[in-house]
Amino acid sequence: MTAKPAIDLPNAEAQCAQLAELIRPRLQPDTMLVGIHSGGAWVAGRLRELLGLGNEIGLIDVSFYRDDYGERGLHARVKPSSIPFDVEGRPLILVDDVLYTGRTTRAALNELFDYGRPASIQLAVLADRGRRQLPICADFCPWQVDLDPSQELVLSEEADGQLQWSLAEHA
C-alpha cells in the first residue's frame, strides 16, 4: 500500500476573505446568500460579515432532497431549513464548504426551487475537490484540491468561532 501524500490545509478564515473578494464584483443589491448546513451555513455567515450585507441569510438542510436518502436514511443531525426572504426573481448565491460529486448541490437546487423561481443561482465554495458525478461547477472558489477518494475535507467551527479545516481518512 502506498502512502498518501501529505497535504497542507489552508487557513479557512483567509479563504473566506478570498471568496468574498471573488464575489464582491458580481454582487447585486438584491443578492441573497443561502448556506447549506452545516459548513456552507458557517461560510455564508462569514461572507455576510465580510461583504457587509445587512440582510439575513437563508439556511437549508438537503437531507430530504438527497438522491441517496433511501440508502442512507435520515441523518442524525437534520437542521430545519429557513429562507427568511422571497426567492422569486431574486439573484441567489448558494454557499457550501466543499464541492465534490455535485449531489449535495443538486439537492440544494431542488429545495430552493420549492421556495420559488430565483432570477439566478451562483455557487460559492471554499474547496473544489473535482471528481464530479453531475455537471455542476462553482462560480466562486479560492481552492481546488485533488484528494484520494478515501480522504474527506472537514470544515469545523472552533469554540472561538473561527473556521478550520481538517482531513479525515475513510477505509
Q: Where are the domains of the chain?
A: 12-169
Q: Please report the pLDDT score of residue 65 as a whole number.
A: 82
Level-2 CATH architecture, domain 12-169: 3-Layer(aba) Sandwich (3.40)
What CA dihedral angle connects 46, 49, 54 and 56, to 10 degrees?
A: 10
Range list of H helices, the chain = 12-23, 39-51, 69-72, 103-115
> Per the structure block, which three cell numbers stand in for 61?
438542510
| 163-169/151-157 β-pairing | antiparallel
Residue 98 near residue 127 (C-beta atoms within 8 A)? yes
Encoded amino acid at 26, one letter: R
d(C-alpha 162, C-alpha 171), whole Å: 29
Residue 105 near residue 136 (C-beta atoms within 8 A)? yes
pLDDT tens for the 171 residues of the chain, in order:
555 567 899 999 999 999 999 999 999 999 999 999 989 999 999 999 999 999 999 999 998 886 654 555 555 567 889 999 999 999 999 999 999 999 999 999 999 999 999 999 999 999 999 999 999 999 999 999 999 999 999 999 999 999 999 999 987
